[in-house]
A and B are shown apart, each in its own frame.
Chain A
Amino acid sequence: MKDNEVFERICRGDETALEYLYKKYYRMMTKLVISNSGSEQEAKDIYQDALVVFWQKATSGNLVLTSKISTYLYSICQNLWRKELDRKRRLSHEEKDGEEYIDIDTKERSKIITDCIGQLGETCKKVLMFYYFDGLSMQDIADKLGFANTNTAKTKKYKCKKKLDELVKSQYSESDFLD
């Protein structure tokens, strides 16, 4: 597959094209991390993160490819790994739980929301994730999920979001998050 074909497919939210990319550059990208004092697991993690970043930018239409995909991915990997190395260095110099402190409320809240997302139906989940993360157009969402048209996609998205909001609110009030 040529670069622009892969890219085009990814922009439309074709996950198999992402898998194809993942396989294709796996060695190349993980080598970057491994040869810079990273473990194989870290390398894999960074590479996957980089691909997800790439995916998100591409699907949401925020990316104009000016170089080869591999060059672009490589630079994301470099940046992510540099950040991770920085983070590790800071951790080793400072007390572990100084800065990294996240208030328990925030943690608790995000756990509740994640649980609520899990309670949604598969289609609902997909519609919302495609809309809020992938940033796919309503047309692409309709295509991917087999909706008749963009209106169906819009309605579905609206209803699912409402359902999720309500679920979360009801859970919040149970745990006294809402005053």
Chain B
Amino acid sequence: MSEVEKIDAYFGNEMTEAEQIDFENSVQNDPTLKKEFEFQNDIVNALRETRKAELKAMLNKVPVSGSMSTSSSFSVGKIASLIVGAAIMGVSVYFLTNSDAAGSLATESTTETQPVKPETLLESAVPSEKSNSQQDLIATESTQLSSSESNDATVQSFSGVESSPKNSENKMNTTTSSTVESEEQKVVVSKPEINKPVISNFNDATNNTDSLEAPGGSLVNKTYKEQRSMEVEIEEGSKKHNFHYHFVNGKLFLLGDFDKNLYEILEINTTTDKAIFLYYKGLYYNLDKNQEKISALTPIKDNSLVEKLERIRSEE
């Protein structure tokens, strides 16, 4: 082997360890060889650096969102956001049923052409406010609550009119509580006495019609983005964690083969908090938002709760 070939074999990693050491020794002892060696060393190093830079540039072009979502959670996230939206909507029906029952009844004739029972009317009224984030809904409700409290007195004087809304209101409450109560979370069930004053809406029912419809018109084209309040990411499960979940900084991580099937996340607003459920392969799972440790998913067995979740899920 000529010297040049040896140098090349050395840099091309084609020498055994013994040959390498041998060669390094002879380089040290031969000034001419050393010079050539250093020259080649520079070139090879430059080639390596160029290749490194090339690989890094290639990786740099790979789209990875600097923020949270990865490609898998993005596509699923879209689906999830729709479902979350559906859940919020379903739940917000209850908000409005409780707070707006009377008002909507009064505006029934103007807003709706065909006669409907209160629940369905509200359900169809709610989607017009679709794009309002849930916070908005809560806000609206709380203002109504406060204003209604102060209007308590007025309400009394309307005893004649009051009877009908009150009836419907009671009806609402039975519907709501039966649908929604569960041992684990209380989905917004406002107290009856808070609802009462909503009749203040009754007074200016015509004005309300406008304000109720306006947002629908202008917001209807907005995207669902605002409704997506929780991020979800799928991680490939390990042997130990193949059907588990945990929350990190409010973000849900699902561990397991979730990529292979459609899963749905149901977010349900309660008075103080949010309850989160997972629907996967026909079963429901309760997700504890404060669960930071990886824990196993176990299906909800309580049939009545499952039934309620089923109803909420199928509402869209």
Contact = CB atoms under 8 A, between A and B. Distances in A.
Interface in A138-179: 161, 164-165, 168
A167 to B, nearest CB: 10
B70 A26 contact: yes
Which of A27, A49, A110, A125 has the most B CB atoms < 10 Å from its CB?
Answer: A27
B71 A164 contact: no
Contact of B70 (A19, A23, A48, A168): A23
A161 B7 CA distance: 12
Interface in B45-97: 45-52, 54-56, 58-60, 62, 64, 66, 68, 70-71
Contact of A18 (B11, B42, B43, B59): B59
B8 interface: yes
B12 A132 contact: yes
Contacts of A18: 55, 58-59
Nearest to B50: A117
B46 A110 contact: yes
- How many chain B residues sit at the interface, stated as a range, is 20 to 34
Give the interface SS of chain B, mostly helix, strand, loop or mixed.
helix
B44 interface: yes
B32 to A, nearest CB: 13
Contacts of B221: none
Contacts of B54: 129
Interface string B1-32: 00000001001110000000000000000000
Interface in A15-64: 15, 18-19, 22-23, 26-27, 40, 48-49, 51-52, 55, 60
Given A19-B62, A51-B59, A133 B52 contact: yes
20 contacts: A23-B64, A26-B70, A27-B68, A40-B66, A51-B55, A52-B52, A52-B55, A110-B42, A114-B46, A114-B49, A117-B50, A128-B47, A129-B51, A131-B12, A132-B48, A133-B47, A135-B12, A165-B39, A165-B40, A168-B43
Interface of A: 15, 18-19, 22-23, 26-27, 40, 48-49, 51-52, 55, 60, 109-110, 113-114, 117, 125, 128-129, 131-135, 161, 164-165, 168
